[in-house]
Each structure stands twice: as C-alpha cells, then as structure tokens.
A and B are shown apart, each in its own frame.
Chain A
Amino acid sequence: TQLLEQSPQFLSIQEGENLTVYCNSSSVFSSLQWYRQEPGEGPVLLVTVVTGGEVKKLKRLTFQFGDARKDSSLHITAAQPGDTGLYLCAGISGSARQLTFGSGTQLTVLP
C-alpha cells in the first residue's frame, strides 16, 4: 500500500500570513495532484505535477514536486479567508490506474 502523509494535519493562521503544506511518501509517483475541498462539496483539482523538481504557480499558490517524485509541497502566499478548506494531495503510480490520497490538511484562514 502506498501511503501519502500530509503535514500539518490542522493549520489556523491569520489573513496575510504565508504557509506551507507538505505531502510525503516512501513511494515514487508518476504524477501528483493537489485538491481543495470545501464543506459539503467534493474535492476540486488545483494542479497536477508530473516532472521531478517541477514548480507550478496558481496565483498565490506554488506547488513543487520533489526531485525524486516522492514528495510535494504547497505554499500559499498572503493567505486569504477564501483559501480556507481541506487540502488533499493524491498520487498516481505507474502501475495503479487510481489515485492514492493523502490524509489531508485542514486550513483555516482567519480574517
């Protein structure tokens, strides 16, 4: 079983602060995705990273895939209350045609 561990599990910060969420595994993934889930809704895809060392930016969000394709990070600059939600990483391995989800990071941005 391929496990994806996310840290921190919970994060509460003030509006305007920066934060980083980590997603780690002992397994190699062919690609890794980040999702955001809001209460009462399903996860929504934010980004997919494919190449080791790849960095993608989505407005104030920066995603990085580790060189060895075993880990990833999500950095949010100047967090806003609208960033509040559950952030999930999910990996796709070369053989399994399915997503393995991380444990999630519940982010709360206080105004």
Chain B
Amino acid sequence: DAGVIQSPRHEVTEMGQEVTLRCKPISGHDYLFWYRQTMMRGLELLIYFNNNVPIDDSGMPEDRFSAKMPNASFSTLKIQPSEPRDSAVYFCASSLGELVLQETQYFGPGTRLLVL
C-alpha cells in the first residue's frame, strides 16, 4: 500500500485566497484525521471522520475552515479565506479502527502551507 497520500506537498498563497488540501487514506481504513502542526502549538487535531461522517470537529479553529469526506478514499480540508496565521504543516492520518488502546494511526507526509 502507498500509505496516506496528501497533495499538494507545498502550497504558497496570498492572504484572502482559498486553499484546498487533499488526502487519500489507506484503503480499508475507516477513520480519517486532519491535524495541524506549528512550532507554537505543536500537533493539534482539527477534525476526524468515521466512515465518511464527521465525528468531532471541535478542533477546527473557526468558520473559515471546513472539511469534507465525500467517499472512503478522499477528503479535503478547505480554508477560505486564508490568513497568514494559518501557515502550518497540515497532516492527514488514517486508522483501521477506533483510537482505543493499541490502534495505530498512519500519517501522511503533510502539506506545508505558507500564507503571505
């Protein structure tokens, strides 16, 4: 398996523009997670899905952020409009089952976003 795939790997945009990040989870995994990593705040969970349904979006910073999972093999994280403080590395991760005890979460390589 190719692992979790994210695109683009790097994105540079100007403040106010719409940004769309994409993720393809590992085939057969029922859970998909979006994280954001910054030096100041570390790795933070934004939202996660189970069988394409959003379960917990309490980590989404504000209404400018939205995430969708139209099918089991694809998810998007959209920022509209983008702001400089959104600059971070965004990771997508997937797991076979629910995160209890010894379940393993697999991370993608991340999308490095820079908003000017």
Contact = CB atoms under 8 A, between A and B. Distances in A.
A43 B100 contact: no
A45 B4 contact: no
Most chain-B Cβ atoms within 10 A of its Cβ — which of A42, A97, A99, A104? A42
Interface stretch (B14-22, B42-50, B66-74, B79-87): B42-50
Interface string B84-116: 000000010100001111101111111000000
B93 A42 contact: yes
A80 to B, nearest CB: 23
Count class of interface residues, chain B: 20 to 34
Interface of B: 4, 33, 42-45, 48, 55-56, 91, 93, 98-102, 104-110
A31 B103 CA distance: 10
A97 B99 contact: yes
A92 B110 contact: no
Contacts of A103: 42
B45 A98 contact: yes
Interface string A28-51: 001100000000111111001010
Contacts, number: 53
Q: How large is the interface on A (under 10, 10 to 19, 20 to 34, 35 or more residues)?
A: 10 to 19
Contacts of A102: 42
Nearest to B91: A42
A88 interface: yes
A87 interface: no
Nearest to A40: B109
A50 B55 CA distance: 25
A98 B107 contact: no
A65 interface: no
Given A41-B109, A42-B4, A101 B100 contact: no
B93 A31 contact: no
Contact of B105 (A30, A45, A50, A104): A45
